[in-house]
Chain A
Amino acid sequence: MTLIGLSFLRFFRRTPWTTLTAALGVSLGVASTVAVHLISLAVAGALSTVGLPHLQGVTHLAEREQASMDDYFALRRQWRNGKLPDVVRMTPIVEGYVVADGRRLHVFGTDWYAAPLRGMNSGLTSSGLTGSNVDYQPGAVVVDESVGLHAGDVLTVGANRWSVAASVSANLDGGVFADIGDALQLLDAPADRLSYVGVQVHDPFADLAALLEDLLPGLSAALPEQSSTLADWHLRSVAAEQPSVQFSKSVLFNLGALGSLALLVAWFLIYQICVMWLRRQRIVMERLVALGVGRDVLARYFYAAVAALGCVATVVGLAAGYYLAHFLTELSTAGFDSVPRIEMSVAVVLKAAFSGIAVALVGAWIAFRSRTHFFEAAVPGRSAVHWWLPVAVVLFAVGILVPQSGLAGGFMAILAASLVAAGLVAPLLRGVRQWVVRLPGSLLAKLAMREVTWFESDLGVAVGALVLAVATSLGVGLMIESFKADFERMLDQRLAHETFIDLAGQDGLVVAEALTRRFPDADVQAYGRLRARIEGTAVELGFTRFDAAESARYGHEHALAENEALVSESLTTALDVGVGDTLRIAGRELTIVHEFSGFGDVQPRLLVDNATAETLYGQLPFDRLSVAGVPSDALLAWFGERPGSSPRVQQRDAMRVIALEIFDRTFAITNALTLLALLVAVIGLYNAITALRLNQLATSDLLDALGVNRSEKRRVDLLRGLTIGLFAVLLALPLGLVMGAVLCQVINPRAFGWSIELQLSVPAMLWPLGLGIAAAVLAGLAPTPRERLGSG
């Protein structure tokens, strides 16, 4: 029996070109998956260091209207009495603002002793405070690095002084983290004040989720958020407190899905090549079956041989993916200060092995089952489809129409649509045969054009893979172009002023006043923002003088009256509100008068006029200015003369260029991945056309005998490729449009909170369609390898 296995391996050796292209195609698929995974791990690694230190170990926030500290203790007693079995630990949290040295600080207080030892507050204990337990000293606080203080410094608030125990990178502007007693003092709040409760809820699937997140970075962002209750408190996942992390995870998931495209196409390729191999080995295998060798024995050796190929592809793909990851990272981050570090890990190796070997085996398995019915007549006329067609349609519908299916549901819809399209290729080719026969043209042209529909079994899978690659390129391209169009429009609106200044901690009103004194003709406007909570959702509340011109930047015609608000799309989605609804914030009600597109915003946003903000929060912090009528170099010179930290001054045009450059860089990886998938599809199509040629050797010999010369044969190859390409792009076009629409209207809102209006950009459509045709022509023109087996 070893001879059988050996014969399979030798057969691969005797068909070196086919074997090589198979290995190459699968390697590219593995490389794509590995590269994306490595990049994702690097980004996820950077994300894991970004965290709100007072929420480390917290899985949920429990909130109740007007809850007090007594309510917290009552909840805690319920837990200690065993009435909340899923709760592992909890801590009270207070949150508020204070002004220190003209700067607004965002204070968070937790009970640093509520859950030490294992998990919670580790963000604080690891930040530099001593002891395995929190060796807490009164009056010690931890600050975000944006506050500009370091360990050993003193934070003065009013008449009180607080020693800084450590400075952390919490990505929270003005963040101050203190033990709850100190926080209440900082906020000058009574001892029974409570903002909400941090809870650690036992998740029996936590380890599984962590493993899945390792294997599929960003998966947690793909799953819909579950909201629930704890006793009579509303419970919300803590992930919503760090929208930038969620945002990044959504990006990672999107990338992961795209990275899998090349692997999916590679699966088509390996299936098709296995079919080719089985066809060429059919007589041999029939003889062996006639001699008494079991079909299952043949299967095992065939699978083993293909798995060996998969192993080679895995090793090559792993190495290639590693270098591809470096290349793509440099491509997208050139010139940036910090670049994610690409490091190999066990999870990546496992994923590569699964991608390469499992995909090869699945392709081989399906091919063997469907193509090795020895000595049996083929069942005439019955198509293999179609039990999965309604299933795919249902999956598509659920993914689109059920928002609760989340990001994963959106991608499931795209996958379902893709599989339907790929699966319909062969039946469609058969179906259009009668129409293709009627096409006019020379006999050589007819010969070439008709081959696609005559030999759909040879070409169907490869054409399906090409359709998939082209459609994805088309859909993603449309999404990017639509995104860019909206983005540019948004930039035009938002960057209505000449110069923007980020004041880096200085008091905006003071600077604005000084600026106006120095440059009397300048038009200066101050901007500020706060973090607020509405129904448990953290939102960014922005405020400025909202006259009609300012409102127009967000697409609203009128100045904002008191208690009117502009809200971003992600806020309306998060809170399920719309224009005309009211929001309750800080004890007051605001009316939503307009919804604006908030792309680029990681957090839901609410915009109000200064008057409204003052009634909500009293003294307001302004941290940015816009200036018109003053040259930027004069501004820079003036700032240089002033004491204090140097602000960031940006010109509108420069900002626009930078923003668009970042935009392009962001999608550099995306474009590279779709090209990779296209390359795999080309390899698959080349193999299919080669198989077709080899199967049609007799026709080729006949053409030789008839005196068809080389250039005429090349013309046939060209026409054959062109026909395949045209057919593929005709199918890819509607699929690509569907993908683009789903990406814009379903995926993007679920991932990032805002939708994109799909715009049918002709260049965005022509480019992938042209690539698809070119790919098919290239595959058609590529020479056939000289792999002809002897008879028997």
Chain B
Amino acid sequence: MSAAISLKGVSKGFLDGERYREVFVDFDLAVAPGEIVAVCGPSGSGKSTLLNLVAGLLVVDGGLLNLRHGGVDYPLHTLDEAARGAVRRRLVGYVFQFFNLIPTLNVLENVRFPLALNDRDDLLPQARERLATLGLADRLDAFPDQLSGGERQRVAIARALAHEPPIVLADEPTGNLDAGNSEQVADMLWSEVERLGCVLLVATHSEAIAERAHRVVELGR
């Protein structure tokens, strides 16, 4: 599996109260297939915005944003919301800092969710294995409110990787965890991503996480 993320001359701004704030101006970024890139910067520098642009949850104001997978280009800057959603569904796995899981579905159901969306129930055995690897084999029937913070993040990783997407986005995946859990979660995320050969774009302000990446992109300086 190979993918590429390419941003060229991208601009993006937001209305901040009554002021319009430019977060990205003429921004370029290229991520090679299998590359792990840490995106760092102070609060408000645009880390989450970058991830959301790549996920197609936000639209660039200007410039080009392209995803490439299996020899096919997906120019997100030209696609409408439904098309971007379809791309995201197939090609992206997302891990958030908070609220990763659907509260009314149990662990296994949460992990199965992207498989159901993509009609890829054939990947269920692998997903189960992954859960076992992540130490959650005996928690499959538990609901999110019955899990610890670290367990929830592990389930989030399992869910993000269940459909084996070429691109994994992680927004402060350990931001809500203590040091011990952070390291554990980071280890698991890295090992699974490297095993699958996905691109991992991780937004973080943790130096420990940034040091693990192949490359660090600094925003806001």
Contact = CB atoms under 8 A, between A and B. Distances in A.
Interface stretch (A275-283, A497-505, A704-712): A704-712
A386 to B, nearest CB: 25
Nearest to B118: A707
Nearest to B52: A705
Nearest to A449: B104
Interface of B: 55, 57, 82, 85-90, 92, 94, 96, 98-105, 109, 112-114, 116-117
A699 B86 contact: no
A710 B57 CA distance: 13
Interface string A193-213: 000000000000000000000
A712 B85 CA distance: 12
A705 B82 CA distance: 12
Contact of A707 (B102, B105, B117): B117
B95 to A, nearest CB: 10
B104 A447 contact: yes
21 contacts: A443-B112, A444-B116, A446-B104, A447-B102, A450-B104, A450-B105, A451-B104, A454-B103, A699-B102, A699-B103, A702-B101, A703-B102, A705-B88, A706-B113, A706-B114, A707-B88, A707-B117, A708-B85, A708-B117, A709-B86, A712-B117
Contact of A454 (B88, B92, B104, B114): B104
Given A698-B98, A701-B99, A706 B89 contact: yes
Interface string A411-443: 000000000000000000000000000000011
A704 B114 CA distance: 12
A447 B112 CA distance: 13
Complex A-B, nearest 7 residue pairs according to Cβ-Cβ distance, in ascending order:
A707-B89, A698-B99, A450-B104, A707-B88, A705-B94, A443-B116, A709-B85
A563 B91 CA distance: 95
A443 B105 CA distance: 8
A702 B89 CA distance: 12
Contacts of B90: 707
Interface of A is mostly: helix
Nearest to B55: A705
Interface in A660-705: 696, 698-699, 701-705
Chain A's interface size range is 20 to 34
Contacts of A709: 82, 85-86, 89
Contact of B94 (A444, A706, A708): A706
Contacts of B89: 706-709
Nearest to B99: A698
B141 to A, nearest CB: 9
A707 B92 CA distance: 9
Nearest to A705: B94
Interface in A445-467: 446-447, 450-451, 454
B74 to A, nearest CB: 13
A707 B86 contact: yes
A457 to B, nearest CB: 13
Given A699-B99, A706-B117, A446 B57 contact: no
Given A443-B116, A447-B104, A704 B57 contact: yes
Interface centre among B89, B103, B104, B112 (most CB of A within 10 A): B104
Contacts of A443: 105, 109, 112-113, 116
Interface string A705-733: 11111101000000000000000000000
